[in-house]
A and B are shown apart, each in its own frame.
Chain A
């Protein structure tokens, strides 16, 4: 699997995700600068975390209009898989590759913690190494992760099975008081990650790339990368 990792001014997790990809593929991904309107063809495009363009105007808004994203949109339309993590999730929603928006966390604080996620489906090129309903532990680090979509969009996402991950308690409970306590940012329906309709674009706020080696404190994120390698090699 050949991957490209985009780099914007203010990206800061591009190295982390590149390392995670290299760990499972043995191959360093191509690092692509935001000003590049064209880059080598790859099996996967990753939009990494950080604070692209200083989060000016709205997080992800400036990056979504950059030359490289125009090309990413073209390739996504042809079915090239795109993975947006954290700021990358914000960028792909601003670019219109995924519906909805990431708003300021409901409690207004930056949240940096290990959280639990319920994997909603194993039926995607991103999640095939997990079981549907499996609980994994990975970190989050963001101030704007509060997912919001209008009622019609939300219903469509739920009906079509486009929810990839939900924040949950360690035992997998999503609803009720416990579920609310396990929601780190106020996201509607506890949504932590979503797919597009064809499940070739995934956006998520948590950082699976920071849970790939025991020294990181957990390895639950490696399944995402191994699953992609299996699906795309």
Chain B
């Protein structure tokens, strides 16, 4: 199965990259853009058929490597075999 992991900065953690992106969009004629936060999107192919087991393993992966929980949150999404193909 395939999994999608989103890693985002926690609220209150300064995101200078997001700020710079917001400023650039404002300058480019998108004044409606307010706060911008930049994150990471990671796609993983898993040799696992049990969704609950996969989620538990993904949690571990996020805590051990994919996210630094001092400053980042993560969310996990399992997508079916067909999705995204």
Contacts and interface: CB of A to CB of B under 8 A. Distances in A.
- Of listed A58, A61, A146, A149, residue having the most chain B CB within 10 A: A58
Given A57-B65, A61-B65, A65-B65, A100 B70 contact: yes
Contacts of B68: 58, 61, 94, 101
- Of listed B17, B65, B70, residue having the most chain A CB within 10 A: B70
B16 A104 contact: yes
A112 interface: no
Nearest to B12: A150
Nearest to A109: B16
Contact of A107 (B16, B40, B66, B71): B16
Say what secondary structure dominates the interface of chain A.
loop
B65 A108 contact: no
A210 to B, nearest CB: 26
Contact of B16 (A57, A108, A150): A108
Interface in B43-85: 64-66, 68, 70-71
Contacts of B66: 57
Contact of A101 (B16, B17, B20, B70): B70
Contact of A106 (B14, B40, B64): B14
A61 to B, nearest CB: 6
B71 A101 contact: yes
A101 to B, nearest CB: 5
Interface residues of A, number: 19
A229 to B, nearest CB: 34
B70 A150 contact: yes
A37 to B, nearest CB: 18
Contacts of B28: none
B9 to A, nearest CB: 9
Interface string A87-128: 000000010000111011111100000000000000000000
B71 A108 contact: no
Nearest to A108: B16
Contacts of B71: 101, 103, 148
Contacts of B17: 104, 108
Nearest to A100: B70
Interface of B: 13-14, 16-17, 20, 40, 64-66, 68, 70-71
